[in-house]
Structure 1
Amino acid sequence: MVDKIKSRQHEILTLLLENKAGLSIDEIATALDISRNAVQQHFATLQKNGYIQTGGFHKTSGRPVRSFILTEAGINSFPKQYAWFSELLLTNLKEEMGAEALQRYLHKLGANLSQSLLPQFVGKQADEKLDGLLKIMDQLGFQAKAIKDPDSNGQVIEACNCVYHDLAQKHEEVCEFDRTLISSLLESEIEHVECMAKGGAVCRFKIINRGEHHD
């Protein structure tokens, strides 16, 4: 994200965003009025983080010089309005479908995603499935871990962030996607015992073992 990128490096990324064909080290040094060595140092960091890559050669009055271009990660480092657009979609879907139908739709989305991921879980033990689920949640942007439930001594998945927090506050049906994905991949019932969108400190999903009774 841009706020994690130093201001000078952000200026370099902006120049490359405005010049899709690429720019050379000298062109960027001139545009920003900094030394060639300084540009090279910033380039080293930006390349290491995957934001830029080498492009083609620029023809000049002298010998051709190497240009540098943005990668997809570099382009995506600039702010996007996904949350705004998602809220617009959900608001309109709820108006057209109703809250219950929207929740069923999100359940279907979670189920469809889980079906594409299930081959990774075939033949795995319960603990291995849980580890696999936590890795997937991490890839989706959650900061999740498994803890022991002090009451039942069973497993609880605890996430200290919610990737749809703003959306879920306005459209609680969004949580059905998470509940469906988790229960489908673990092949177990789960209980959403705490939710940040409803004022909780974290999101907790209690894994219900066979034979365990819950309200």
Structure 2
Amino acid sequence: MSMPQNISSRQHQILEQLRENRNGLSIDELAKLLQISRTAVQQQFVALESEGYIKKHTLTKTAGRPLTLYAITDKGINCFPKQYAWFSELILSDLQEEISPERFKGYMQRLAGKLAKNLKGRFAGKKLDERIDELSKIMTDLGFQIKTAGESGDDKEIIQANNCIYHDLAQKHQEICEFDLTFMSSLLDREVEQLSCMAKGDCNCKFRIKK
């Protein structure tokens, strides 16, 4: 995972400094650390604060006027790259050794069902096309690059993901694909058929919604 595209290299530097100084830094301190003007720091702060990457708090000094410090938020910390794949692989491999392939597949389906249950409220009372739109938004938020298309005269019958957010894991544990199928079918209230799979060498992951 890389830095979000809306964060410039200068803003990245500011977040790095604030991550290293968790108690916060003043504008003057950041300007000195980065060797840029105070005005330049303030300009970057406007965007960072509006996006929720940083927050400010005021410290009362024993002498003189209160000092305003800026600190990085959890959202700001989450912008930095993370590597969870090795830990997920460790858990999945251990689980797969403990149970049979069918039980492992069933586990993925149950896991997807639990997640879908938590999101059901966003789909209540919506028509199928609206459900597909909502599902596309959720999958996009999860990191998928989604587009929908129609077949046989239908406006939306195909959901295509041009990336797989757990590609390496799915190559080793293809039962993970059952998670996607169960998740999608639960939220759409329709059977979903997988037409292609990147973990199996296809150029995308494509799903057909049966009506």
- TM (norm. structure 2) is 0.88
Pairing 1:189–2:196 present: no
Aligned length: 209
Deviation at 1:74, TM superposition (A): 0.7
Q: Could you tell me how far apart the structure 1 residues matched to 2:36 and 2:134 are?
A: 47
Per-residue deviation, 1:151 = 9.8
Matches within 5 A, 1:38-187: 38-57=40-59, 59=61, 62-149=64-151, 155-187=157-189
CA-to-partner distance for each residue in 1:161-190, whole Å, 9 max, x for gaps? 211112111211111111001111122111
* 1:28 CA displacement: 1.1
- Conservation of the 8 A alpha-carbon contact between 2:109 and 2:178: yes
Maintained 8 Å contact 2:4/2:79: no
CA distance in 2, matches of 1:105, 1:71: 35
Contact 1:183 1:190 (C-alpha < 8 Å) held by counterparts: yes
- Which consecutive residues of structure 1, in runs of 5 or more, have no partner in the other structure? 210-215
TM-score (norm 1): 0.87
Structure 1 range deviating more: 168-177 or 152-161:
152-161
Q: Report the equivalent of 2:29.
A: 27
8 Å CA contact retained: 1:58, 1:67: no
Q: Render the CA deviation track for 1:28-55: whole Å, top value 9, x for unaligned.
A: 1122222212211222232233211112
Match in the other structure for 1:212: none
The CA RMSD over aligned residues, in Å, is: 2.3
Contact 2:109 2:182 in 1 (8 A): yes
| Kept after mapping to 2: 8 A contact 1:23/1:67 | yes
Could you tell me how far 1:121 is from its partner in structure 2?
2.4
**Structure 1: which amino acid aligns with 2:20?**
E
TM superposition outliers: structure 1 runs of 4+ over 4 Å: 150-154
Indicate how the Cα distance of structure 1 residues 152 and 34 shifts in structure 2: closer, same or farther if over 3 A, else same. Answer: closer
For 1:115 and 1:130, locate their aligned partners in 2 and report how far apart those are by CA, in whole Å. 16
- CA distance change for structure 1 residues 107 and 62 in 2, over 3 Å: closer, same or farther? same
Q: CA deviation at 1:107?
A: 0.3
**Could you tell me how far 1:76 is from its partner in structure 2?**
0.8
